[in-house]
Structure 1
């Protein structure tokens, strides 16, 4: 074992020299080899049975990596994008602000997930965030983007497309502030676009920031939520929202009582994705699973959450 370690360290020096010549892509591949060879990255969980192509477990208290698998490789985030969308809404707006949704709620894809919003409806910003996060409403996410984009630009009459582009700028700026420097977001929903990508590591960093926000934590935890929706015909209408995160649905096969969030995602290109969190005895972990399958995404996440909680640091007394 000592010989292997010494040899690996020697090769690491050669990799460092070669990396200066061949660039970042070479270094990234070389690092993954080193991780497999001498256990780099501080990962301490078993990898057996994880089917997702990309995965990461971090201790939410200190950011320590507990398990990693292709965590720095690009992947499509699908609707886990809405973690960033919801966080920006709650950071740049007030939860009780009334938002009137417009034509941006019209479907951009006939099969996209929707909360059921219609033009002219008015609802509180927090309820709009719930509509984006729980049922993964693309209509709600676009409404957030338009509202916050106009607000940031100081122009309430800014066009729908222009407002969304303003919001995208905010997304990328906020992602970088969180340390997510290997992502590029081009929409608020996660609908597939080739230049819309992230990594498991970046999504974990964004999720960690989001879960430090009290209102965001509150938004992602319920199994269901009733939003108040004002219309001209009915000023006290209700919109029932159901969380697509099966970790939070009591009685289901995938329910995990320690789970506290966060967001599901799926497109044909991204596969099944889940950014999840759990808390037990004061310990908190965040798990990112990308490009899994319908059959494996929850077993992947549950196993990593449970193992992560066993290995995470106990809070200081």
Structure 2
């Protein structure tokens, strides 16, 4: 029996040595893997720092104008803002609203008869005569290219019978269609009224909406056009001085009154990205254009567009297999140049991007509930790592999985070794008893 005891003891010690060696080996691997992950994290942090430094190299402009905003015309994402929610007088950029309301509530071929009130409207005019008949399309040219206040009144009266009724329509329209909730209009031309106001943020939203209309875009991008009125024949030259002088300029409207100062909504397109900028209450017209150029220059130099999801692409969250988030149209974002954005998708379908410039909303999915989980078509769907958490489209969780796997092996090895030792000790005691 003593021989069995020695053999068992020898076997026990051998197995213990084997298990200890296995545990030590696994523990040695773990720090190596951890160091690899830490090195990758450090590399990522260094890359992010380099990207941030690159973005900081293009500094946002310092503006003297009282309010301003710069947005991406496609996604609506903000790239620069100053007092963007402050209520201010718009002056003639009001006519952006007048035009898009007219385009959606009349036909360009409509014939408009000019009233006495329109004939004698004060301010900038296209010299309409009482009783003169003109197409809606031509009046819109006089409104947006030459900033005709008489054209604005004629348009308003044709659609709603009076400027006051039309102004009510304008206010309701921008709130419903463009989400411009901090604007109120009292006339169609922008002449001073204490209750006639907007914000830079609202005007950017309105301009973004209006520029989706092809006819509107065509008119505000027209540099000059022949004007054949009853008593005034001339060539109208667009009052927006950026057209033809700023690379990529596409529109849209400027204005001025003593109360409002110089105001401008402008758009420009380069390399597949169209920007919309608003400046309110600039100290002078010359400074307004200078600051607008610097604002647009900043946007093109510091940001680039990225498509996050293509049309009809579906996104699924782990733990919610029966809920499909589908992009009804491509979802785009603008991000600081050189950065890879992280994505956040919440359960309501809102898509946000996280970059060095902050967290910004980029778009929204159509949310649908399915009774059964469909087989995922290859390449047609993206799955979230975790619900309502940030997701880097280019990221990989393999490092974390590897660490967890190694740690699990170590733990199992320790437990298995301990159980085996206990079992051998029990056998040894039985041998001694025998």
TM-score range relative to shorter protein: 0.7 to 0.9
Deviates more, 1:304-313 or 1:293-302: 304-313
Written as runs of structure 1 = structure 2, the 5 A alignment for 1:20-169 is 46-109=59-122, 112-150=123-161, 163-169=162-168
TM-score using structure 1 length: 0.75
Contact 2:119-2:127 at 8 Å conserved across structures:
no
Give 1:146-225 correspondences, 5 Å limit: 146-150=157-161, 163-177=162-176, 178-225=178-225
Shift of 1:218: 0.4
Q: Secondary structure at the match of 1:262?
A: strand
Inter-partner Cα distance in structure 2 for 1:114 and 1:183: 25
Residue by residue over 1:158-216, the C-alpha shift from the partner in whole angstroms, topping out at 9 and shown as x without a partner, is xxxxx222211110111101111011100000000111000000000110110011100
> Any idea what the Cα deviations from partners look like across 1:207-254, whole Å, max 9, x if unmatched?
01100111000010111112444x5xx9xx855322111111x4xxxx
Q: Which residue of 2 aligns with 1:36?
A: none
Match of 1:247 in 2: 242
Report 1:10-29 matches (<5 A).
Answer: none
Distance of 1:176 and 1:44 partners within structure 2: 38
Match of 1:261? 251
CA shift, 1:122, in A, is 1.7
8 Å CA contact retained: 1:44, 1:67: no
Q: Which has the higher contact order (CA 8 A, sep 6+)?
A: 1
SS for the counterpart of 1:295 is helix
Q: Structure 1 residues 164, 282: CA separation in 2 closer, same or farther (over 3 Å shift)? A: same
Query: Partners of 1:123 and 1:278 in 2: how far apart?
Result: 31
Shift of 1:313: 4.0
Task: Kindly report the root-mean-square deviation, in angstroms, between the aligned alpha carbons of the 2 structures.
Answer: 2.1
Contact 2:250 2:269 in 1 (8 A): yes
Of the two, which has the highest radius of gyration? Answer: 2
Gaps of 5+ in 2: 1-55, 311-434
- TM-score norm. by structure 2 comes to 0.55
CA-CA distance at 1:117 after TM superposition: 1.4
C-alpha distance in 1 between matches for 2:115 and 2:58: 47
Kept after mapping to 2: 8 A contact 1:59/1:286? yes
SS at match of 2:242: helix
**Residue 282, structure 1, aligned to residue 272, structure 2:** yes
- SS of 2:112's partner is strand
Which secondary structure state, in structure 2, belongs to the residue aligned with residue 266 of structure 1? Answer: strand
CA distance in 2, matches of 1:44, 1:77: 33
Residue 292 of structure 2 corresponds to residue 301 of structure 1: yes
1:268–1:45 Cα change, 3 Å? farther
Q: Distance in 2 between matches of 1:238 and 1:65?
A: 42
Q: Which residue is equivalent to 1:160?
A: none
Q: Contact between 1:127 and 1:228, CA under 8 Å: does it hold in 2?
A: no
In 1, Cα distance between the equivalents of 2:143 and 2:65? 25
How far, CA to CA, are the matches of 1:269 and 1:113 in structure 2? 16
Aligned residues: 251
Structure 1: 5+ residue stretches without partners = 1-42, 151-162
Q: Secondary structure at the match of 2:286?
A: coil
